């Protein structure tokens, strides 16, 4: 029940943080509602087999047709979702279901997997630190797997976590050039999942910094950073949780495109994504406790301030009383009871001595009671 409540909370807040792009109600199936800020589509082809690997920037989508007829594996990387004609022509060449392209351009889409007759669609989310160095940004990556091809659709054309995979293909490292397109899909999925660990490492360092700051010198900026960190962790959880379901579905349900050998590799992916989720949940608990620590620190600082003011006020109350008494305008000549000490030769020094003695006595009393033990200068 507790897990269900967390899920509902995430769903309620998801719309607050993400700007969804959906087709108008009543649109025909397969309608491509491309975002206004989508970048033009760039096509990059990597075609490989055991003997060679070809890397080409395609100026025209029809250039990939000659490679799709071969027995080699063709990886078409579509970077940017802004060219509708290019996307539709690519879907026509590969005979993709109309709903595939609709899900590809509707960003951000919840990670999912759809099975079709001769291909399948996998929608994932890839995360990275923002260029400003503060916070995390995410990007949708869609995979369309066929028997001899794999198409990846990315929102941003200039960044991804697939460079190590490209390098392995180019240099023929490992067995990737001896495997099928399904193995390539596994490799890219594994790269996406592994890219969460550096992000979590940075968040862990930020949490340690905030822990020290919350205890030593909490400020209004501190609570803002805690709130931003909480949002980042929530975004990570929304990205990772359904991706665990996707990997589990590929292992359990599978498809004729995903053989038994690939499922063994996917089990390793599943272990990694469970580890990522454990780290995220641990960080969420720590960040939630940081709020309590922040409030306690603020309360303790206020108590220390009030304690200092109380001690000062307590010391000056009797001194103020003495000064008030001797500030009254009585004439000692009118009556012997009208403050005769005002006529004493040592009256003024005696008044000072009395006030100093009272203040020193109170300070000694407070010291013996241990009231000064917790006094410490405020760190700035």
Question: What total of structural domains would you count in the chain?
Answer: 2
In a domain, 145, yes or no: yes
Q: What is the pLDDT along the chain (380 residues), one digit of tens a residue?
A: 333 334 334 443 444 344 556 666 656 666 777 777 788 899 999 999 998 999 999 989 998 888 888 889 999 999 988 888 999 999 999 999 888 998 888 888 888 999 988 899 999 999 887 765 567 888 899 999 998 999 999 988 777 889 999 999 999 998 899 999 999 999 999 999 999 999 999 899 999 988 888 877 788 888 888 888 988 999 899 889 999 999 998 898 767 888 888 999 999 999 999 999 999 999 999 998 888 888 877 777 777 778 778 888 888 888 888 888 777 777 777 777 777 777 788 878 888 888 888 888 888 887 887 776 655 544 43
User: Are 175 and 311 in a shared domain?
Assistant: no
Question: What is residue 17's predicted lDDT score, i.e. its pLDDT?
Answer: 42
Question: What is residue 19's predicted lDDT score, i.e. its pLDDT?
Answer: 53
ω before 108 within 30° of 0 (cis)? yes
User: Residue 357 has which token pair?
Assistant: 């003695």
Q: Which of 179, 206, 233 is the last residue of a domain?
A: 179
Question: What is residue 283's predicted lDDT score, i.e. its pLDDT?
Answer: 93
Q: Which residues pair with 76 in a beta bridge?
A: 45, 151
Query: Can you give the pTM of this predicted structure?
Result: 0.75
CA distance 109 to 242: 11
* DSSP state for residue 228 in the 8-state scheme: H
In a domain, 297, yes or no: no
DSSP strands (E only) in the chain: 42-48, 53-58, 73-79, 112-115, 120-129, 136-145, 149-154
Q: Which of 133, 157, 179 is the last residue of a domain?
A: 179
In a domain, 103, yes or no: yes
Q: Minimal CA–CA distance to 298: which of 226, 199, 195, 234?
A: 226
* Packed helices 181-194 and 260-325: angle between N→C axes, nearest 10 degrees: 10
76 three-state secondary structure = strand
In a domain, 302, yes or no: no
Question: What is residue 303's predicted lDDT score, i.e. its pLDDT?
Answer: 78
Q: Residue 330 belongs to a domain with what CATH number? A: 1.20.58
In a domain, 290, yes or no: no
Q: Which of 161, 179, 197 is the last residue of a domain?
A: 179
CA distance 287 to 230: 7
In a domain, 8, yes or no: no
Domain that holds residue 86: 28-179
Question: What is residue 110's predicted lDDT score, i.e. its pLDDT?
Answer: 85
CA distance 268 to 106: 30
Question: What is residue 192's predicted lDDT score, i.e. its pLDDT?
Answer: 94
Q: Which residues touch 39 (CB under 8 Å, ≥6 apart)? A: 79, 80, 81, 82, 155, 156, 157
Positive or negative: CA dihedral 249, 129, 204, 161: positive
In a domain, 71, yes or no: yes
User: Are 172 and 35 in a shared domain?
Assistant: yes
In a domain, 352, yes or no: yes
Q: Residue 39 belongs to a domain with what CATH number? A: 3.30.460.20
Question: What is residue 193's predicted lDDT score, i.e. its pLDDT?
Answer: 94
The phi, psi pair for 153, rounded to 5°, reads -115, 125
CA dihedral 88→91→92→95, nearest 10 degrees, is: -160
CA distance 188 to 246: 14
CA distance 347 to 237: 77
Question: What is residue 131's predicted lDDT score, i.e. its pLDDT?
Answer: 64
Q: What angle do CA 156, 207, 271 make, to 5 degrees?
A: 65
User: Are 173 and 37 in a shared domain?
Assistant: yes
What Rg do the C-alpha atoms of the chain give, in angstroms? Answer: 35
Question: What is residue 314's predicted lDDT score, i.e. its pLDDT?
Answer: 82
CA distance 309 to 259: 75
Question: What is residue 293's predicted lDDT score, i.e. its pLDDT?
Answer: 83
Residue 223, number of CB atoms within 10 A of its CB: 17
CA distance 227 to 290: 10
**β-pairing, 149-154 with 136-145?**
antiparallel
Residue 23, number of CB atoms within 10 A of its CB: 15
Question: What is residue 107's predicted lDDT score, i.e. its pLDDT?
Answer: 82
């Amino acid at each position: 029940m507790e897990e269900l409540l967390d899920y509902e909370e995430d769903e309620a807040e998801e719309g607050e943080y993400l700007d969804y792009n959906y087709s108008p109600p009543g649109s025909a199936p397969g309608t491509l509602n491309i975002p206004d800020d989508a970048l033009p589509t760039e096509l990059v082809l990597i075609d490989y087999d055991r003997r060679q690997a070809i890397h080409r920037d395609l100026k025209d989508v029809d250039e990939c047709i000659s490679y799709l007829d071969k027995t080699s594996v063709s990886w078409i990387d579509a970077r940017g979702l802004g060219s509708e004609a290019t996307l539709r022509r690519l879907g026509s060449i590969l005979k993709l279901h109309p709903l595939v392209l609709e899900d590809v351009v509707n960003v951000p889409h919840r990670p999912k997997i759809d099975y079709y007759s001769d291909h399948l669609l996998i929608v994932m989310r890839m995360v990275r630190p923002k260029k400003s160095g503060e916070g995390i940004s995410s990007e949708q990556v869609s995979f369309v797997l066929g028997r001899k091809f794999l198409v990846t659709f990315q929102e941003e054309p200039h960044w991804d976590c697939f460079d190590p995979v490209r390098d392995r293909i180019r240099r023929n490292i490992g067995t990737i050039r001896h495997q099928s397109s399904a193995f390539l899909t596994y490799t890219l999925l594994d790269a996406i999942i592994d890219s969460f660990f550096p992000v979590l490492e940075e968040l862990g360092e930020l949490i340690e910094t905030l822990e020290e700051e919350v205890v030593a010198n909490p400020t209004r900026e501190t609570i803002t950073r805690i709130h931003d960190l909480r949002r980042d962790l929530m975004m990570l959880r929304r990205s990772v949780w359904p991706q665990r379901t996707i990997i589990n579905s590929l292992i359990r349900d599978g498809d004729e495109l995903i053989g038994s050998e690939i499922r063994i590799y996917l089990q390793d992916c599943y272990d990694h994504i469970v580890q990522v989720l454990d780290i995220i949940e641990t960080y969420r608990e720590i960040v939630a406790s940081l709020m309590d620590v922040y409030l306690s620190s603020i309360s303790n600082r206020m108590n220390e301030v009030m304690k200092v003011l109380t001690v000062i006020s307590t010391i000056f109350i009797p001194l103020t009383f003495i000064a008030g008494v001797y500030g009254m305008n009585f004439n000692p000549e009118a009556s012997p009871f009208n403050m005769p000490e005002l006529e004493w030769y040592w009256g003024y020094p005696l008044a000072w001595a009395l006030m100093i003695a009272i203040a020193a006595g109170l300070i000694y009393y407070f010291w013996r009671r241990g009231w000064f033990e917790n006094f410490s200068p405020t760190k700035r």
